[in-house]
Amino acid sequence: MKRGIILIVSICLFLTGFAQAQVQKAKAHWTYSFSKPEVKKGESVDLVFTAIIDKDWYMYSSDFDPDLGPMLTTFTFEKNNTFEVVGKLKPQNPKTKFEEVWQGNVRYFEGKGVFKQTVKILADNPVIKGSSEYQTCSHVSGLCIPGGDDFEFKGLKVTAASAATTEQPTLGAAKPAVEPIKPAVAAAQPADTAIAVTANDIPATTDTAAAKVAAPEATQTSFSETPDSDGSLLGFALAAFLSGLVALLTPCVFPIIPMTVSFFTNQEKGKFKAFLYGISIVLIYTLIGTVVSRLNGPAFANFLSTHWLPNLLFFAIFITFGLSFLGLFEIVLPSGFVNKMDQKADQGGYAGVFFMAFTLVLVSFSCTGPIVGSLLVASAGGEVVKPIVGMAAFSAAFAIPFTSFALFPQWLKSLPKSGGWLNTVKVVLGFLELALALKFFSIADQVYHWHLLDREIYLAFWIVIFALLGFYLLGKIRTPHDSPIEKVSVPRLLLSIITFTFVVYMLPGMWGAPLKALAGYLPPQSTLDFDLNKRTAGAAPSGISAESRKYADLFHLPHELAGFFDYQEALAYAKKVNKPVFIDFTGHGCVNCREMEARVWVDPAVLQRLNNDYVIVALYVDDKTELPESQWYTSKYDNKVKKTIGAQNADLQIVKYNNNAQPHYCLVDHQGNLLVAPKNYDLDPAKFAAFLDSGKAAFGKK
């Protein structure tokens, strides 16, 4: 689940026929034709699918990552021996845009959409028919409507084939291409790359519940509500800019300013070269962000967010930089490489300006590396724009002072001299790096159920780390590169007060205090060994033994709530007790999920409704527990085999409820049909209680 200053809200709405709403049809009208009127038997011809799309609506194409979220356009052919599919579906010049709700680039059509599929004709009267699946969305209301039509191609004249082209008929007609596009390549590939996914490709399974999940029926109508992407991107850019300003205060960077001034003082065209110097810094850093954005993708983002390998790698990197900031060792790039760049800078000229900027980036690496790395980790969500914008904002803040002092060397006299205060900044950052490193380890620990960093252990580390930081600010602890402190300044005293206040706030959490302000960053309350509140998270519903519920040994519900962790099991129990179902699509690494549980679910009005009015099922979409092979199935959405609990839950959320964000709360009947519009992240308990009331009322009417 993803890091950074971004809040994603995606809402899908099921319009019931008994209310004042109506079931709406997809806003596309199809025609079907051949690329040429006549072919010889054994020759190929293009099938042309043309969609006329209503005004202010758009339709998703077929040539972007199927794991991203939206429903791709696909065509499934009925099996027969009169034709054979050749190659992949080819959308004709779709547009591309970044959609905040899916955190990636999508391809789409407006006004008119055209797809071509090459087929080989194998008989005189070919029978070419099948069905399509697609999705149209409104630019105005955000409403998204899935669609599907039957198609048939008629009127092709087939003449006798020559001996060279006569072939035996094959049964390949019903096998559209199903190769998934790798996220990093999807945006750059030409329009003839496509994905076709068919429900006919889902294999039979011996597990009834798994079979039902394998082919869930999509919700008939849905709304998608997206926050202002510009605002979110602006927030991330502002955070990156502030990070650049912080980087200027590190001892690796601050002393370079006088060197920069001396370099430009005696240069010809010094002012122009000073501007070129600043631009070079921005370009070098932005290039790093561009490379990262091309390597990333939605599938890779999920890997980064939940897999043990990247999380432990990030943990190790943050620990390493934290120890370096504390003075245990210095992280430097190979001296030979840095010296070569420095020699290039000494050559002068415009090339020398660029290499001067490159030298600055290299020399400052040991101090800016952790900050830059944090930005890139925060933007690791498959985005193309976000890492580039983040690095550009960071480097702009980084470059502006250097450019300014190069333009106006006399300003140098007004700067405070570098000294012990710079090392203090570095050490404070070191303590923060150690604290933040634990979050990465905690995510892997929760996803894989290692139980090595439960809530009390995590809190113990944070309490000790921030207590030591407080003592350091008071001058009671000195690191290897610190200068002696005879008097504690007022700013240091104020910072130490804030730090110790934070430590005192965390202490009750060791015995069960909820610590709402840290809800998204701590392991769940259920992992606490000794809880004075005596919560029995994940209790069994009435009439159900705790041992008989699926996955009750792996997952827990907060606040003594009783519930399930398997979709079909919850629906069956809800039918038995005649209650609606509250579906909680959640994740181990979902910060907002924990915050909702700690700040909204705990509200008495909400808790009472969850306890009395609903059957609760928590579905973890990022859990890596592998199921028995008999329960595996191939998704009709992306044609991938779903082997883990998390993969199957995520597939259910996308296919059935047309959403892939967490937290995502759905109120459904005994068949899994939505009763009201789902709800996402919202910290207003009154609104959440009203949401639960509306679902109960809709269930009563049905």
422-433 tens-digit pLDDT: 678 778 888 988
Instruction: Tell me the CB-side half-sphere exposure of residue 47, using CA atoms within 13 A.
Output: 28
Phi then psi dihedrals of residue 507, to 5 deg = -55, -45
Q: How confident is the model at residue 374 (pLDDT cuts 50, 70, 90)?
A: low
Q: Could you give the CA distance from residue 397 to residue 74 in angstroms, rounded to a whole number?
A: 46
Looking at the structure, do residues 207 and 61 belong to the same domain, yes or no?
A: yes
99: tokens are 């959609």
Looking at the structure, do residues 207 and 278 belong to the same domain, yes or no?
A: no
Measured at the alpha carbon of residue 457, what is the angle toward residues 380 and 507, in degrees to the nearest 5? Answer: 105
Q: Could you give the CA distance from residue 468 to residue 72 in angstroms, rounded to a whole number?
A: 53
E-strand ranges in 589-695 read: 615-620, 633-634, 641-642, 664-668
- Residue 265 has a pLDDT of 54
Residue 282's identity, in one-letter code, is V
427: tokens are 């050490």
Does the pLDDT of residue 340 top 80, yes or no? Answer: no
Average pLDDT on 40-68 reads 88
- Domain assignment present for residue 472? The answer is no
Looking at the structure, do residues 236 and 187 belong to the same domain, yes or no?
A: no
Higher-pLDDT residue of 668 and 523 is 668
268, 348 contact by CB (below 8 A): no
Average pLDDT on 609-631 reads 92
| Nearest CA among 359, 424, 357 for reference residue 395 | 357
Task: Tell me the Ramachandran region of residue 42: left when phi exceeds 0, alpha when psi lies from -120 to 50, beta otherwise.
Answer: left
Looking at the structure, do residues 271 and 188 belong to the same domain, yes or no?
A: no
The tens digit of pLDDT for each residue in 499-510 reads 999 999 999 999
Residue 103's identity, in one-letter code, is Q
Q: Could you give the CA distance from residue 520 to residue 596 in angstroms, rounded to a whole number?
A: 9
Higher-pLDDT residue of 338 and 330 is 330
Average pLDDT on 558-571 reads 90
Looking at the structure, do residues 288 and 349 belong to the same domain, yes or no?
A: yes
Q: Which residues contact 355 (CB under 8 A, 6 or more apart)?
A: 341, 342, 344, 345, 347
Instruction: Report percent pLDDT > 90 for the chain.
Output: 24
* Domain stop point among 174, 193, 217: 217
308: tokens are 């043990």
Distance from the first to the final alpha carbon of the chain: 36
Average pLDDT on 506-523 reads 83
The tens digit of pLDDT for each residue in 412-460 reads 555 555 556 667 877 888 898 898 888 888 888 877 778 898 889 999 9
Which residue segment(s) compose the domain that 130 sits in? 28-217
The tens digit of pLDDT for each residue in 193-231 reads 333 333 333 333 333 333 334 444 444 334 333 333 344
Looking at the structure, do residues 204 and 241 belong to the same domain, yes or no?
A: no
* Domain stop point among 361, 386, 416: 416
Number of H helices, E strands in the chain: 19, 19
Looking at the structure, do residues 167 and 129 belong to the same domain, yes or no?
A: yes
CB-CB neighbours of 166 under 10 Å: 12
Higher-pLDDT residue of 241 and 579 is 579
- Domain assignment present for residue 530? The answer is no
Residue 203's identity, in one-letter code, is P
> What are the CA-CA distances from residue 107 to residues 6, 25, 143 (Å)?
23, 21, 18
CATH of the domain at 685: 3.40.30.10
- Residue 226 has a pLDDT of 36
Question: Which H helix or E strand runs over 106?
Answer: strand 104-110
In three-state form (DSSP H/G/I as H, E/B as E, the rest C), the secondary structure along 164-212 is: CCCCCCCCHHHCCCCCCCCHHHHCCCCCCCCCCCCHHHCCCCCCHHHHH
Cis peptide before 663 (omega within 30 of 0): yes
SS3 content of the chain, % helix, strand, coil (to 5): 45, 15, 40
- Residue 189 has a pLDDT of 33
Q: Could you give the CA distance from residue 52 to residue 25 in angstroms, rounded to a whole number?
A: 14
- Domain assignment present for residue 672? The answer is yes
Which residue in this structure is represented by tokens 């904002």? 393
Looking at the structure, do residues 191 and 59 belong to the same domain, yes or no?
A: yes
Structural domains counted in the chain: 3
- Domain assignment present for residue 580? The answer is yes
- Residue 501 has a pLDDT of 96
Q: Could you give the CA distance from residue 174 to residue 80 in angstroms, rounded to a whole number?
A: 8
Higher-pLDDT residue of 272 and 112 is 112
- Domain assignment present for residue 41? The answer is yes
597: tokens are 């549980």
CATH of the domain at 146: 2.60.40.1250
Looking at the structure, do residues 259 and 210 belong to the same domain, yes or no?
A: no
- Domain assignment present for residue 423? The answer is no
Burial zone of 91 (CB within 10 Å; 0-12 exposed, 13-18 middle, 19+ buried)? buried
The tens digit of pLDDT for each residue in 120-163 reads 998 888 999 999 988 888 887 777 888 888 899 988 888 876 54
420, 482 contact by CB (below 8 A): yes
Measured at the alpha carbon of residue 322, what is the angle toward residues 320 and 327, in degrees to the nearest 5? Answer: 95
Residue 242's identity, in one-letter code, is L
| Nearest CA among 547, 655, 568, 685 for reference residue 617 | 568
pLDDT averaged over every residue in the chain: 74
The tens digit of pLDDT for each residue in 465-489 reads 999 999 999 999 988 878 778 888 8
Number of residues in the chain = 702
- Domain assignment present for residue 637? The answer is no
Looking at the structure, do residues 343 and 296 belong to the same domain, yes or no?
A: yes
* Domain stop point among 384, 416, 448: 416
Say what the pTM is.
0.45
The tens digit of pLDDT for each residue in 14-29 reads 333 333 334 467 788 8
Higher-pLDDT residue of 347 and 693 is 693
Looking at the structure, do residues 190 and 236 belong to the same domain, yes or no?
A: no
Looking at the structure, do residues 400 and 549 belong to the same domain, yes or no?
A: no
- Domain assignment present for residue 498? The answer is no
Q: Could you give the CA distance from residue 542 to residue 647 in angstroms, rounded to a whole number?
A: 29
